[in-house]
Amino acid sequence: MANAKSKEQVSPIGADLPRNDVYEKVTGTAVYTDDFQFGNKLLFARAKRSPYPHALIKKIDTSKAEKLPGVKVVVTGKDFPNRIGLYLQDKTIFATDRVRFIGEPVAAVAAISDEVAMKACDLIEVEYEELEAVFDAEFGASDKAPLIHPDLENYVCPNFIFPKAKTNIANHFKIRKGNVSAAWEKCAHIVERSFKVPHIQHVPIETHIAVAQMDEKGKVTVWASSQSPFAQRNLIAHALHISQSDLRVIAPLVGGGFGSKAGVTMEAIPVALATKCKGWPVKFILTREEEFYTNFVRQGLTIHVKVGCDKEGNLLALKNMMYWDGGASTEYGTNVTRAGGYSSSGPYDIPNVETDSICVYTNHPIGGAYRGFGMSELHTGLDQAIDELAEKAGIDKVSFLKRNGVTEGDVLVTGLIMHKNGIQECIDNVAKSLKFNEKEKPSSADRLRGKGIAIMWKAPAMPPNPGSSAWVEMAEDGNVTVGLGGQEIGQGTFTVMAQMAAAALGVPYEKVRIAGPVDTQYSPYEWQTVASRLTWSMGNAVVLAAKDARRQILDVVAEAWKENTEDLDIINGVVVSYKSERETSLENIVIYGMPKDNNEGWMGGPIVGRGSFMPKYVTNLDAETGQGPRAVVHYTVGCEGLDIELDKNTGTIYVLKGAASFDVGKAINPTLVKAQVEGGFAQGLSSAMFEEIKLVKGVMTNPSFVDYRIATAPDMDFPLDTPFVEVPQDDGPWGARGVGEHPMVPTIAALGNAIYDATGIRLTNPPYSAEKIYLAMLDKGIVK
């Protein structure tokens, strides 16, 4: 016993272990997609894009392009008519009969150099007949708007998406809980306000890239910077009419995703080209300008909020009307709309809720998944209306949030019963960090000071049954390799998975490797790296695989030692017996097994653990009321606050301090949790102060870093406090749940509330730029 105890392992769970990809990343040896070498046969792809927001394609003439020396292949939409989409199948790889946004690919070229490919695109002649376009979601939803997808009723979609035939409404999600109209009469205070949240871009520093090659037998390999190698395998195979097994996606490290590299976007273009030049690899990299508007963007939202409470400050009723500017395709965006609907109360306990969350086709760039998946947009309106309501009710904001925050047992908007959560502690943490209820003076007479606070929630937004799987293998040296299909996009999932495998198996963290890059030919299935679901879902699969391997090892050793498995353990990579105090290292036995006594032969063999996890309890919701037993797997909740000063002469915001607190269930790696929260807060603040895709008649007028500014290091020059809360998730590994997206969800509202506190001005349309603030102060007479 003494022996085994002395070896007691320090748990890798909850430990600040170093990232397992960091050495490569600081030495420049980490491999991203563009770092692969493809040899002299490599072809370069470029796309011919639509210059019109909405037009019929009358004729495409590719003959001049085809004759240009160096051009290998030119493709158009006629060869790829299959519609694909993650949720609503409304998109083709290339526009076929009509274009629906500026930048939509119409044709593509593969050539021996990028220059030749670009020149060839210029030589493709397309004749268009312009159509009336839709640039506003509310107008688009009306019966006056021209139809963007006249065949909508024929599109395939799952039974939880509700498109309306002969309209531009791609999804209409409804909540009807309680009796809202009756509840208004009982309200002592009501706030009604509209907000408009603009389109923004994810801005990964690595733009989208994919390389595709088809072999002589017709099997396709794709190398892509991807959050979704398995979803891409499925969707691209569908688009090309080939079998999923004949499409292999290899996904190296990702230089930032934030949702933009989920689903399928530009990856299908080099694949289409590769099918026409077997044996030749075709590389397609988006330019920074293309990155800004030709791929997924965060869709715009117009939200009308009406919310009321009784005189004690208890929320009684909420009415939400949301129009999402889904863009030219809503294949992914329809589910953002759905998420905005089933979470439309925010983390507040409200008995009467009526929500209409409407996804509208427009002739704008395509809306897709973006970190937070609808929640930032929703909370921007909701949390500012709540802030105003608290003031109207004469209740301090912290108390108002605490009084109304969701608690265990609350019946949520969909009928789901809320689980245990730490929202009260999150609010307390932020309030304490910012001394929220102390009114503090600005640093000079030229400045105004204000504090803002906002709470949030978000559930993983996904189909009811997205699966995860994992395997665990070991080498002769006793080191462990974990196979998984989720992606390392910077969040640190490979590190967290190694920590979990180490803990579940009983080996030191340093002995665990992750089998990368993810490759659909060898890696186990993972739905997508989205929705802050990996720590929870893939984590469960990895733990099951590690436990399976552990059991196999212990069974062999128990048999060899003629002991009971229950008396054995693996500690620090050594199998020990609590009963006999025997021990053996894992080396060799995990491959060769163990000899039986008396030269009777062998037992065991190579150890392979397997794990698979899929939530099985999520149900569909009623189409008319949005009610059902279990809308989502769980919610992560949190709170953010800002203490700011505003320069009266310029409108410039100076953040004095930020605070962010989220209930992560269990922080498997506290440093990584804090790093996620810091980065998310910065992205949220950047979107709150600077970011907007400026669209004028469908044209993005600011597609560069000069004109579309994101937060730089000097913008983040303030202390940011990030205490986390750990109320365990009942089905999470060690109680963990995700926190990847959440930190950017409440930031716009928190800043808006701080600006209000400083100025008495409620700004409704972010970004809250210095110019906007200054003009509002001028208008209000705060400055002259």
Partner 1 sequence: MTLKTITLTVNDMVETVDVPQNMTLLQMIREKLSLTGTKNGCSAGECGACTVLMNGEPVNSCMVLAAECEGATIVTVEGLAKGGKLSKLQEAIVKAGGVQCGFCTPGMLISATALLNRNPHPTDTEIRSAIVGNLCRCTGYVRIVDGIKMAAK
- Site for partner 1, rule CB under 8 A: 18-19, 21-32, 34-35, 37, 202-207, 253-258, 287-288, 489-492, 671-672, 674-675, 678-683, 704-706, 710-714, 716-717, 720
For residue 304, give the amino acid letter.
H
**Which string of DSSP letters, residue by residue, matches 106-117?**
EEEEEESSHHHH
Catalytic (active site) residue 741: yes
Q: Specify the residue, 89 or 295, whose C-beta has the smaller distance to partner 1.
A: 295
Rg (CA), the chain: 28
Residue 648 CA to residue 643 CA, distance in Å, equals: 16
Residues with Cβ within 8 Å of residue 686, at least 6 apart in sequence: 710, 711, 715
Q: What angle do CA 353, 358, 361 make, to 5 degrees?
A: 175
Least separation in angstroms between CB 31 and partner 1 = 8
The label of the residue with tokens 């949390």 reads: 383
Residue 121 CA to residue 110 CA, distance in Å, equals: 10
- Which of 104, 290, 488, 741 is flagged as catalytic? 741
Least separation in angstroms between CB 266 and partner 1 = 17
Q: How many CB atoms lie within 10 A of CB 438?
A: 7
Residue 747 CA to residue 724 CA, distance in Å, equals: 16
Note whether 471 and 609 are within 8 A (CB).
Answer: yes
Q: Report CA-CA distances (Å) from 245 to 91, 240, 249, 484, 487.
A: 23, 13, 10, 18, 20
For residue 94, is it left (φ>0), alpha (ψ between -120 and 50) or beta?
A: beta
Beta-bridge partners for 139:
none
Q: How many CB atoms lie within 10 A of CB 227?
A: 23
Least separation in angstroms between CB 234 and partner 1 = 25
Least separation in angstroms between CB 498 and partner 1 = 16
Q: Which of 405, 523, 421, 416 is nearest to 464 (CA)?
A: 416
As given in the structure block, the two tokens for residue 522 are: 């060898």
Residue 433 CA to residue 780 CA, distance in Å, equals: 31
Q: Specify the residue, 300 or 743, whose C-beta has the smaller distance to partner 1.
A: 743
Least separation in angstroms between CB 714 and partner 1 = 5
Least separation in angstroms between CB 216 and partner 1 = 28
Note whether 318 and 78 are within 8 A (CB).
Answer: no
Q: Hey, what long-range contacts does 29-34 have (CB within 8 A, 24 or more apart)? A: 30/253, 31/252, 31/253, 31/517, 32/206, 32/225, 32/252, 32/253, 32/254, 32/255, 33/209, 33/210, 33/211, 33/223, 33/224, 33/225, 33/252, 34/206, 34/209, 34/285
Q: Specify the residue, 29 or 599, whose C-beta has the smaller distance to partner 1.
A: 29
Cα-Cα-Cα-Cα dihedral of 56, 61, 65, 66, to 10°? 130
Residues with Cβ within 8 Å of residue 245, at least 6 apart in sequence: none
The label of the residue with tokens 């290292």 reads: 585
Residue 376 CA to residue 372 CA, distance in Å, equals: 6
Residue 642 CA to residue 435 CA, distance in Å, equals: 11
Q: Specify the residue, 35 or 153, whose C-beta has the smaller distance to partner 1.
A: 35
Question: Phi and psi of 624, rounded to 5°?
Answer: -95, -25
Residue 336 CA to residue 219 CA, distance in Å, equals: 34
Q: Report CA-CA distances (Å) from 582 to 501, 570, 577.
A: 24, 12, 5
Least separation in angstroms between CB 326 and partner 1 = 24
Least separation in angstroms between CB 674 and partner 1 = 8
Q: Specify the residue, 437 or 704, whose C-beta has the smaller distance to partner 1.
A: 704
For residue 727, give the amino acid letter.
V
Q: Specify the residue, 19 or 49, whose C-beta has the smaller distance to partner 1.
A: 19
Q: Specify the residue, 187 or 677, whose C-beta has the smaller distance to partner 1.
A: 677
Q: How many CB atoms lie within 10 A of CB 78?
A: 11
Least separation in angstroms between CB 28 and partner 1 = 2
First to last CA, the chain: 80
Q: Specify the residue, 204 or 341, whose C-beta has the smaller distance to partner 1.
A: 204
- CA 660 centroid distance within chain: 19
Least separation in angstroms between CB 533 and partner 1 = 18
- At how many degrees (to 10) do helices 397-404 and 375-392 cross? 120
Least separation in angstroms between CB 22 and partner 1 = 5
Q: Specify the residue, 23 or 522, whose C-beta has the smaller distance to partner 1.
A: 23
Q: Specify the residue, 55 or 693, whose C-beta has the smaller distance to partner 1.
A: 693
Q: Specify the residue, 21 or 587, whose C-beta has the smaller distance to partner 1.
A: 21
What residues act catalytically?
741
